[in-house]
Amino acid sequence: MAVSAFEAALIETWTLFAVGSIVIMMRIFCRTKMVGFAGYCGDDYLIFFAWACYTAMTVAAHIVGGTGDTSHLTLEQRLSFSPEEAAMRQKGTKWFMVGWYTYIGLIWTLKFNFLFLSRRIVSVSHIRIVIIPTMAFVGATGVAIWILFATACRPFHKLWQILPDPGRLCMPQSPVFLITVLVLNLVTDMCIIIIPIPIILPLRITWARKIGIIFMFSAGIFVMIAAVLRVYFVLSLQQGQTAAIWSCREDFVAIVIGQATMVRPLFTHRFWTRVSTNSSTYELSGGSFTKTPRLGFRTVKDPYHVSVLRTQGNESEEHIISGGSQKGVTAPCNIRQEDGMYGMPMN
């Protein structure tokens, strides 16, 4: 039996959601086992909000895929709609706007997720200072987009108006929405990618390891490509179903790439073979960590913290004090991951 285009899109939508949710759950499990709930940092809390937005956006994509929306309709189509079909299109448009808001909530939360990660592994003061304004800029762009959604079409209910035609500004696939979101998405991603470059390039470590760190920070390029493809196909095909499925694809890519290095420890032997004791201390390169039954792994020096990388690259630079503390460069909310920064092999 042949599968319709809608059914195929539906299967893809929920398959992507299931895999993306599994990746998020793996990240939560990995971080909880590593640092315990008491060791959570800002990005660990944000991932729960990101998953809520991801769920709502997937539901919206499901509904829009079946109903369509009021974008790109000719006058003849609008006049030919029965009351039932008009109501269905209006419902689809309302859910399309829910999808827009939750899409921004998810993508921008993942940006903050990465910025929090960057802040806690960077010890260079002038670079850490840049991260805070970047967070403010990212937050401001996200809020600005939400305001744009709420104010571009006035009154707001014209977004799902059938007759008379409310105009190009009053449709959920408006080029104003698509282009503005794309530009701000790309600009904020570039800001995030550029931040660690001045730190990574001068480090005296092997090129293999340096490339690994650069790849971690520049993986957002793949998300940028997905964002461009989404807008291209939406503008060229002009279908609500196309916009919905491409939003799901972009979100999936953003989640998998954003969390990939965070779940890497799950695939290491050491992660699963630790001896469980009431209170155990483990020694690792670059520091130590303690595990207790209540709180899990608590205090540790991140082995890929910049100060650790410098020390391993040049043993004469004594930047690390035994026990994982370090004067002047201790990162907030220190972290612990297997075999290097979030599982990347350490040479």
Q: What is the pLDDT of residues 185-221, one digit of tens each?
A: 999 999 988 887 777 777 777 777 777 667 766 777 8
Percent of the chain with pLDDT over 90: 45
**Mean pLDDT of all residues in 328-335:** 43
Average pLDDT (291-320) is 42
What φ, ψ does residue 288 adopt, rounded to 5°? -140, 165
| From the candidate CATH numbers 1.20.1070, 1.10.3470, 1.20.1260, 3.30.160, the one assigned to the domain spanning 5-267 | 1.20.1070
Q: Which H or E element spans position 210?
A: helix 207-218
pLDDT of residue 267: 87
Intervals of CATH 1.20.1070 along the chain: 5-267
Cβ pair 47, 114 in contact under 8 A: no
Q: How far apart are CA 59 and CA 99, in angstroms?
A: 8
In whole angstroms, what is the distance from residue 250 CA to residue 229 CA? 9
The phi, psi pair for 114, rounded to 5°, reads: -70, -35
Per-residue pLDDT band for 337 (boundaries 50, 70, 90) equals very low
User: pLDDT of 85-115, one tens digit each?
Assistant: 999 999 999 999 999 999 999 999 999 998 9
16 close to 252: Cβ distance less than 8 angstroms: yes
Spatial neighbors of 251 by CB under 8 A, at least 6 apart, are: 16, 20, 54, 57, 103, 106, 107
- State the pLDDT at residue 333: 62
Q: What is the DSSP string of 273-318?
A: -PPP-SSEEEEETTEEEEEETTTEE-----TTSHHHHHHHH-TT--
Kindly provide the b/e burial profile for residues 203-227, where b requires at least 16 CB atoms within 10 angstroms of the residue's own CB.
bebeeebbebbbebbbbbeebbebb
